[in-house]
Each structure stands twice: as C-alpha cells, then as structure tokens.
Chain A
C-alpha cells in the first residue's frame, strides 16, 4: 500500500485507472509521487504535464496542477509555464512516441535550454494506446502492428539523445527497480536544470503479445535478466552489451538553468523596477 502522504496526491475518485492490469506505468506513477513527497513538494506548487498516450493520462490521476496537452508538445507547454513561474516544480511525463517521435524537437530543445523541468520518459517501446504500432524505440527486429515483419528502423537511445542535446541530469532505470526509479526521479527534481529520467516500462498487451513477453511477469523477468548497471557495463564489450539495458546515472553536471539566465537578463536591462 502506498504511504498515506503519497495517497494524498491521488485523485482517488478516478480509480481504478485506465491502464491495463499489470501495466508498468503505475509503478512509475508511484515512484514519481514518492519522489515528490520525499522532496518536500507541495501539490499547489507542482505541475504534472503530459502529451497524448497511455503514459500521458497520468496527470488526470494526480491531485496537483495538471495539464494534459497535445501529442508530443508537453515540453513546449511546460517551458512556457516554467518561464512564467520558475517557482513551480514541473514533472513532464511522456511516452517514447511522445518524446522521441512527434515531440523529438521539443525534447532536444528543452535539453539544450537546460530549463528546470524533469522529464520522465516512460519507454515501453511501442504506441500502446493506438494499438501497438512501432515507435522510435522499438528494438530492431521486434514486431509491432506496423512492423509485422520486424522493425528495420534503428531505435533511439533516449539517454544518449538527452546527453547529446545538453540535459544536465540523465538517468535510466527499469520498472523492475522501483526504488532506483524513485531515487533517480528525486535526483532529477533536485537538479536545477533539465533532467531526463528514462524508465523502461512494459506493455505486455501491445508489445509483449508480439514479442514473447505476454505477461507482466515475463516483462519484469526480462528486465531483471537483461539490466546491467553502468559501472559493470563500462567493463563489458559492445558485443556483450548487445540487447542489454544499461541502468544508472549517465550525466550529472552543473550548467546555468534557463529561467535563472532569463532572470539575470531582466536584471541586466533594469526590468521590473
């Protein structure tokens, strides 16, 4: 059972939620809420933003300031909100399609600006809500309704993308590591700049049924058996790392945060006097 202070963050009247029984997204929502509570955040000062998709229905369940926007665009809305009111804590929850396909441009530019938002990318390698179509993170050879013969498009590595684009905190965990998920989200929230926490989630309904991971337990076991901590991965050969999920904190660095830069610009031009 979630702790009572975590339950306070839920709009309980909307339960049971609309995710399939056994979906990984509930584990992530719980980790986000524990991280927010443990970081001492207030519901009135916290914004949960999302785009469109299964993962993006999460804000409806969270009793804070919540905004469910258009497909892929949530980071652009969140950027406006953060710039307008930098005091707000913003967690942007996104799916893999939302983040890396239709919203890819907003994602790399949020990384580039290093604006104080935490993006939690719930990567289940598939478009779940629309019926299991291939996404930019569907592994090579995996099957989807729009890749019936196996995907031939090389997938994105969300963490490498975030790192290359300039995010100042980048980490990855799987839903089989709920405590690690919580810790990384907490670290992401504590980072002043743009944070990306990729959480490998499962969609047994849409991805699993076509890729021999038909049950929630199949998926959790797959994640457990194929995850490699970053420290260990560094001593492994590329061949041995093939198909593995490397977990850990990839980027932790200091850089000026966007709204702080904006504030100093305003001061420089004598604004607000």
Chain B
C-alpha cells in the first residue's frame, strides 16, 4: 500500500535502500550523512540484514564490498573527507566488478571544510576520484522523494552492471524534511544480480555473457570458487600482463556503461521547447533554479530548465540539441565550476555559457538566478 512519510533526505535514502533489497551496510559516522547509518543500524537487524560500524571510512567501504562479495546488496554512506578516503577501495570495486552503492552527502571542502553546509564540490571527484579508467554511474537527486527513488535505481544499476553506483546528495537535501509518497513495494522494479547458471567447474567469473556483454556473479559461500583481485586480470580473474587481456578488461569496464548509456541517462526539463535561455542545474540548486525559471516565465521571458538526474553518464546529446536551439545556458553551481566543463563539452560551442558560482556554504537565492536570467535574456 502506498503511504505518506515526512522524511529527511538521508532517511529517505536509507528506506529507499531497504526497499531496493539492501541488507548490508558498513559505515563510519560523518556529518552530514550519519542519519543514513543510524537508520540502517536500527532497521537492518529487524530485516535480518547486517549493519556494522567500522573503524574508519576505508574499512566502511571495504566491509561493504565484503558484504557484496558474500551475496548481499550493500551500501555505505559518507561525505567529503570520507568520500576522499574511500576512493582507493572504490577503485577495487570497479576493477573487481563488485556491485555496491556509495552515498556522498556533499558538504563544503577542501579538507574538513564545512561539515554542516552545502556544496557541490565532489561531482568531478565522483567521476575521476579513484585512479585509473572506469565508467561512472552517479545520481544527483533534488528532492526527498527523489532520494528514495534514485536509491532504488542505484541498486538496480549496481546489480545489473556489476559495479559501484554513486548517489551525490547534498547537505541541504540530506537534512531537509519533505513529504514522500512511498510506493507499495509490489509496484517497484527491483533488479537482482545475474547469477551463474553453469556448474562451479565451468564458472569463468569475468567472462561476459554474449547476449548482454555482462558477466554473472557468484557469491563466496554458494559453491563457486573464484579469485578476486584489484590487479588487472583476465576472464578467469587472475592477474595478467598480456596486452590483449589488459585492453579487453579495461575496455569492458568502460563499455558496460557506454553501451547502455541510453538506458541509464536521466534528466528532467521544463519550458525548454521555445526557450532562448536554459538554466542547467542539479541537486538542491535545481530547486532554486526551477523557482527562478518559473518566475521569469511569469515575467514573459522565454526561459527553460534542464536538470541532469544522472551526472554520470551526463545527458550530453539531449542537452546539446536543446542548447543549440536556445543559444544561451546559465549554469549555477555551488563550486567554482565543475559540471559546467562537462556541459561545455556537451554543447560543442553551440551555446553561450554563463557560469554562476557560489561557494559560501549557502544556496543561491531564486532572486539571484532570476537576476542573471534577466541579464542574459535581455
């Protein structure tokens, strides 16, 4: 049965995870994400799930990967400094193709920065934070309702593609309370990882199935014996120095997201059809942007709104055609310019870019964005 809740974004992420089938959480306290761990600590034992508070951020993601290896849908949550600490083991999960969900409730940085204030300074770290080539799937929700929904999607993507999926929340969203319409579990689409159908003797842990180019995954303890390593490996999971095998493995890490890009990419638009100016924004900032866009429309300005829901992969082709028509983009971000570079890449110079940066621990006011719209639209 559908029910209505009044939740913080962090609480919504936690219940979204449980609805998605998450039954393992390894974490470490950090503001402003701790409520996620707190809800999981309270709820998971009730579901016969596993919660463990580890000794540090690094151990939090390590245990989470361990839980996934033993067959659980697993999650960890953190914020800026913790996201930095998790990067090495995040890389192991990409390399070893272990499905996990990592939530980063963004706060100001660098370093300890602003533990209780919003920022959007981790979005490039989400893409490039761990060393080495890999494809990224990262969601940026902009409402407490959407926190619930993208967390379920994040698990579905992680399980389907056998890789980490990131949720880039932010401090305002994490701590803001809003109405959430919680759908009946029966109505949800839930994806579980593909398991091997062959015998243990025939199991080749990193050989993709020909029909979807994705390898099934066994769990430790379910009768299959296999090797997991962060070293570059062949289809059997063993380290390799063979150039052909290295190229094949790394290309597949990219291809498994690139090939399904259209099924992963998500975005939202409003009033873009006849727009001369489009405001592109994500996360909490998108709410301010939308409010400004509507006020501008009320004033008769032809302004549109474009919100990437997946920051990675970025909805580049979709934005490009709209941007070409409009000719002008405004990109407000709570950083000195991160996604704006990806947006520039996406539009190939077909639209003029107006960057707005705010780095003071606060959100934009709708009036500030409206002012910029009026200036640009003039």
State whether these chains interact: yes
- A residues whose Cβ falls under 8 Å from a Cβ of B: 14, 43-45, 47, 59-60, 63-70, 73, 76-85, 87-88, 105-106, 109, 262, 265-266, 269-272
User: Given A68-B230, A73-B62, A105-B55, A81–B70 Cβ distance below 8 Å?
Assistant: yes
- 18 pairs, A vs B, C-beta closer than 8 Å: A14-B238, A44-B225, A65-B224, A66-B225, A66-B227, A69-B62, A70-B92, A70-B230, A73-B89, A76-B62, A78-B66, A80-B66, A80-B74, A85-B71, A88-B70, A88-B220, A109-B59, A269-B45
List 10 additional A-B contacts (Cβ < 8 Å) besides A80-B24, A88-B70.
Answer: A43-B225, A63-B225, A65-B221, A69-B89, A80-B64, A84-B71, A85-B219, A105-B59, A106-B59, A266-B45
* Per-position binary interface string of chain B over residues 218-255, scored 1 when its CB falls under 8 Å from any chain A CB and 0 otherwise: 01110111111111000000110000000000000000
* CB closest residue in chain B, given A266: B45
Distance in Å from the Cβ of B92 to the closest Cβ of chain A? 6
Task: Tell me which of A47, A70, A262, A269 contacts B220 (CB under 8 A).
Answer: A47
Q: Is B63 an interface residue (CB 8 A)?
A: yes
Residues of B near A67 (CB, < 8 A) are 69, 220, 227-229
Complex contact B224–A44 (CB within 8 A): yes
- Report the Cα distance A45→B200, complex, angstroms: 13
Complex contact A65–B225 (CB within 8 A): yes
- Report the Cα distance A47→B282, complex, angstroms: 43
Residues of A near B227 (CB, < 8 A) are 59-60, 66-68
- Report the Cα distance A262→B223, complex, angstroms: 24
Complex contact A60–B238 (CB within 8 A): yes
How many A-B residue pairs have C-beta atoms within 8 angstroms? Tell me: 133
Residues of A near B46 (CB, < 8 A) are 269-271
Complex contact A80–B230 (CB within 8 A): no
Distance in Å from the Cβ of A14 to the closest Cβ of chain B? 7
Q: Is B112 an interface residue (CB 8 A)?
A: no
Distance in Å from the Cβ of B332 to the closest Cβ of chain A? 38
Distance in Å from the Cβ of A213 to the closest Cβ of chain B? 30
* CB closest residue in chain B, given A83: B50
Complex contact B48–A271 (CB within 8 A): yes
8 closest A-B pairs by CB? A80-B66, A272-B48, A80-B63, A84-B70, A76-B62, A76-B59, A68-B229, A109-B55
Interface centre among A44, A59, A82, A84 (most CB of B within 10 A): A84
Residues of B near A105 (CB, < 8 A) are 55-56, 59
Residues of A near B58 (CB, < 8 A) are 73, 76
Complex contact B66–A76 (CB within 8 A): yes
Residues of B near A85 (CB, < 8 A) are 70-71, 219-221
Residues of A near B26 (CB, < 8 A) are 80
- Report the Cα distance A88→B220, complex, angstroms: 8
Distance in Å from the Cβ of B226 to the closest Cβ of chain A? 7
Complex contact A84–B50 (CB within 8 A): yes
Distance in Å from the Cβ of B76 to the closest Cβ of chain A? 10
* CB closest residue in chain A, given B88: A70
Q: Is B123 an interface residue (CB 8 A)?
A: no
Distance in Å from the Cβ of A86 to the closest Cβ of chain B? 10
Task: Tell me which of B55, B67, B88 contacts A81 (CB under 8 A).
Answer: B67
User: Given A73-B89, A271-B46, A271-B48, A84–B228 Cβ distance below 8 Å?
Assistant: no
Residues of A near B59 (CB, < 8 A) are 73, 76, 79, 105-106, 109
Residues of B near A69 (CB, < 8 A) are 62, 89, 92, 228, 230
- Report the Cα distance A106→B66, complex, angstroms: 14
